[in-house]
Amino acid sequence: MDALVRALVTAPGDIPDVAGGPDATVRDARRIIRESAAADFAADDAETVRGLLSVVLGRSDAAIAGELISSYERSDALRLRTYDRLLGAHGATVRRPFTVAQLATVLTALREGLLIRRLVDPEAVPDSLYGETALAIAIAALDTRHRHQHIDEAGASLAVPDDGTAAPRPALPDDPRRAVIDTAAVEFTRHTFYLATLEGMADASGVPLDMLKRLFPTKAHIVIAALRPRFTAITQSLADDVSLGTDHVTVIRRHLLRCARLTVEERPFMDALIASISYDTASEAEGLVALKQELHFPSLIEPVIADGQRLGIFSPAEPAREFAATLMNTLFVRCFSRRTLTPEENADFVADLILDGLRGRDDG
């Protein structure tokens, strides 16, 4: 029996190289998936029988099971290459909780199951069924708009009863704007800025989605509304330091400390702002562009640096704008990545690094 099973599992299987067929640069990904699946499904029944017998008779043997796993891995790899090419050519991502590798595993299992069913009930499995099912999986699992959705969010309409009657709306919170901002803080903490959704905030805050979008068209607008009062207060404190004649270095150090404290006191919203710093606004949605423009911390300290350069206190090697951006970005990234340190420690580190530099000074 063992010899028979080993012969089955090592028999040359006809696994088509689906990645080597249709061109993944074709604009319509549906065509690629259908054609790849058609080639993938065109296997003879003998190969299917060999695989089925190997699984049934040999899976309890460790050596044979290892060979079976290797066979599955080769099969998965072919489908993985197809999906990788699709993702790259069409700028798609995979919705959570799936991964590309898991999709390849699902397609391998789907193909195998349909081939087995076709052995005993060919009328139930037309040649196109595998391709159409693979396409349906791709439509559900692949995200070309980079909304960072969970599969549940993509299928949210399935949770809404379509009985032709509109459910009565619950009473709004006394302060809908505040309710949304408070809910957003929780959602950003749980899911991060990019994975939190307006739909989730609407459900949790009690503010219907259409009304929430009137207050805040995007998640970025919620961050702006939450941080604007603090941004205004920091702006005023900086202006007060300057008007009171505080020296330039002290002004910068005090400003860095205020901003470092802000990252702790408004952690969910500052995390959202800091995360957005890493992305190029030229390709981002309008809300993220507004977020960086309306809460532009470097512009607050830029005049102080420029005046210090004019007086010879600071180096004129680069424009004040570049120094200000480097200073604030370094502080925020430091606070983002060194959460166990106090605001004072993070602010002092960045001030010492930027103001004094890495090189020791020669006092002689």
Per-residue pLDDT reduced to its tens digit, 96-110? 788 878 888 888 888
Give which of 328, 322, 315, 327 is closest to 354, Cα–Cα: 327
Q: Is the pLDDT of residue 315 over 60?
A: yes
- Answer for the pair 187, 132: CB distance below 8 angstroms, yes or no: no
Rounded Cα distance, 328 and 223, in Å: 18
Q: How many CB atoms lie within 10 A of CB 260?
A: 26
Q: Please give the residue that has the higher pLDDT: either 13 or 343.
A: 343
- Answer for the pair 287, 224: CB distance below 8 angstroms, yes or no: no
Q: Please give the residue that has the higher pLDDT: either 354 or 158.
A: 354
- Answer for the pair 297, 248: CB distance below 8 angstroms, yes or no: no
- Answer for the pair 220, 288: CB distance below 8 angstroms, yes or no: yes
- Answer for the pair 40, 14: CB distance below 8 angstroms, yes or no: no
Rounded Cα distance, 354 and 76, in Å: 51
Distances (CA, A) of 112 to 6, 20, 311: 20, 20, 76
- Answer for the pair 270, 262: CB distance below 8 angstroms, yes or no: yes
**The pLDDT value given to residue 203:** 92
Rounded Cα distance, 74 and 61, in Å: 20
Phi and psi (nearest 5°) for 148? 55, 45
Q: What is the mean pLDDT of the chain?
A: 80
Rounded Cα distance, 274 and 183, in Å: 20
DSSP class of residue 12 equals -
| pLDDT tier, 20 (very low <50, low <70, confident <90, very high otherwise) | very low
Positive or negative torsion for Cα 340, 343, 347, 348: negative
Q: Specify the amino acid at residue 324.
A: A
Greatest alpha-carbon span in the chain? 93
Rounded Cα distance, 337 and 334, in Å: 5
**The pLDDT value given to residue 51:** 66
Q: Is the pLDDT of residue 8 over 50?
A: no
Least confident of 90-94, 184-188, 209-213: 90-94
| pLDDT tier, 166 (very low <50, low <70, confident <90, very high otherwise) | low
**The pLDDT value given to residue 7:** 52
Q: Is the pLDDT of residue 242 over 50?
A: yes
What percentage of the chain carries pLDDT values higher than 70? Answer: 74
Least confident of 13-22, 153-162, 182-191, 230-239: 13-22
Rounded Cα distance, 322 and 319, in Å: 5
Q: Is the pLDDT of residue 1 over 50?
A: no
β pairing state of 93-94 and 142-143? antiparallel
Q: Name the residue with tokens 């609407």.
A: 202
| pLDDT tier, 59 (very low <50, low <70, confident <90, very high otherwise) | low
Which two structure tokens, joined as six digits, stand for 173? 């919170």
Q: Is the pLDDT of residue 307 over 80?
A: yes
- Answer for the pair 194, 235: CB distance below 8 angstroms, yes or no: no
Rounded Cα distance, 102 and 76, in Å: 9
| pLDDT tier, 5 (very low <50, low <70, confident <90, very high otherwise) | very low
Radius of gyration of the chain (CA): 29
Give which of 137, 142, 141, 212 is closest to 172, Cα–Cα: 212
| H-only helix segments in the chain | 2-9, 29-41, 45-58, 62-90, 100-120, 129-141, 151-154, 176-191, 198-205, 209-215, 219-243, 248-265, 267-277, 286-294, 297-310, 320-337, 343-351
**The pLDDT value given to residue 78:** 74
Q: Is the pLDDT of residue 361 over 60?
A: no
Which two structure tokens, joined as six digits, stand for 259? 């901003």
